[in-house]
């Protein structure tokens, strides 16, 4: 089953958006000249940026497959979905668990406009999209799509991939995560990736400056700061590590540590 929560919205093609820049750098086609210009400027100051972004997406694939295959999770809440790029989350988890139910959430109109065409569920499962902002958890948790897609009688995996570095402490970053976790039952999981300048501070700092010039200021965090998002949860080994070091697989792209500016982790909500 496939559902989308709202009708199409007008696009702002003249201003770069993080989801479209991400799509452009990954080699996608759903972007505009402003996104290409911003992406080119960022890659110019840090040529490793495409490898970094691929590693972030590979983490999402591994962690979601692990949750479905090893932990039996059948429900997924994906915040900051971004533009659909196969394999998407539902394609990964429904390959293992065809009855899996996925609720995608993003606030970019272009993601909404492409969601209906690209997000196909298995007949046994369900894939739904809601146009909402992480800064307003109540809009997500109170949406009909949330109520109709996810059951709070069984665990839910909350995925926040590649978005927390755009959420600043002034926006109550930890509070937003907690408000999304609070209604989820024990045994639920939080998977997140968190931008950092720990490994290539000059290069990543220049990328952050470019994002800020495009109206997308970033909050880069140390490992200790990244770990605080998982306070009160039970971390799954190997804990908070660079994304390419989280349960790597033999066929993963080989990268240098200095080329990856993202921490990732998975943690379980205790009883």
pTM for the whole structure: 0.91
Tokens matching residue 194: 């968190």
Most confident segment among 27-31, 126-130, 152-156: 152-156
The continuous run of DSSP H or E covering 211 comes out as: helix 201-213
Flag whether pLDDT at 241 surpasses 90.
Answer: yes
Per-residue pLDDT tens for 167-220?
999 999 999 999 999 999 999 999 999 999 999 999 999 889 988 888 889 999
Q: How confident is the model at residue 118 (pLDDT cuts 50, 70, 90)?
A: low
Return the sign of the alpha-carbon dihedral for residues 13, 14, 15, 21.
positive
Neighbour count for residue 221 (Cβ, 10 Å): 21
Flag whether pLDDT at 128 surpasses 70.
Answer: yes
Predicted local distance difference test score (pLDDT) of residue 12: 62
E-strand ranges in 2-120 read 2-4, 75-79, 101-106
Which residue do the tokens 């996925």 mark?
102
Predicted local distance difference test score (pLDDT) of residue 252: 92
Per-residue pLDDT tens for 64-96?
999 999 999 999 999 998 888 888 999 999 999
In angstroms, the CA 56 to CA 85 distance is 13
Query: Which domains, ranges and CATH numbers included, belong to the chain?
Result: 2-268 (3.40.50.150)
Q: Kindly report the backbone phi and psi dihedral angles of residue 270, in degrees, each rounded to the nearest multiple of 5, phi listed first.
A: -75, 170
Per-residue pLDDT tens for 5-61?
444 445 566 778 777 887 888 887 778 888 898 889 889 989 998 999 999 999 999
């Amino acid at each position: 089953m496939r559902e989308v929560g709202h009708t199409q919205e007008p696009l702002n093609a003249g201003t770069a958006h993080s989801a479209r820049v991400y799509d452009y750098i990954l080699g996608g086609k759903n972007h505009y000249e402003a996104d290409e210009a911003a992406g080119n400027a960022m890659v110019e100051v840090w040529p490793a940026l495409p490898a970094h972004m691929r590693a972030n997406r590979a983490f999402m694939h591994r962690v979601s497959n692990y949750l479905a295959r090893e932990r039996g999770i059948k429900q997924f809440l994906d915040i900051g979905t971004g533009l659909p790029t196969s394999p998407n989350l539902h394609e990964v988890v429904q390959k293992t668990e065809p009855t899996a139910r996925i609720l995608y959430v993003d606030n970019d109109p272009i993601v909404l406009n492409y969601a209906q065409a690209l997000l196909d569920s298995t007949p046994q499962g369900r894939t739904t999209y809601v146009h909402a902002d992480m800064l307003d958890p109540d809009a997500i948790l109170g949406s009909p799509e949330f109520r109709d897609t996810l059951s709070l009688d069984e665990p839910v995996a909350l995925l926040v991939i590649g978005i927390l570095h755009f959420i600043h402490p002034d926006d109550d970053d930890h509070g937003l995560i907690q408000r999304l976790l609070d209604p989820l039952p024990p045994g639920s999981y939080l998977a997140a990736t968190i931008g950092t300048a720990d490994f290539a501070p000059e290069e990543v700092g220049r990328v952050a400056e470019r994002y800020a010039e495009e109206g997308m200021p970033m909050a880069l965090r140390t490992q200790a700061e990244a770990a605080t998002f998982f306070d009160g949860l039970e971390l799954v080994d190997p804990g908070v590590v660079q994304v390419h070091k989280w349960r790597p697989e033999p066929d993963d792209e080989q990268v240098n540590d200095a080329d990856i500016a993202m921490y990732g982790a998975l943690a379980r909500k205790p009883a």
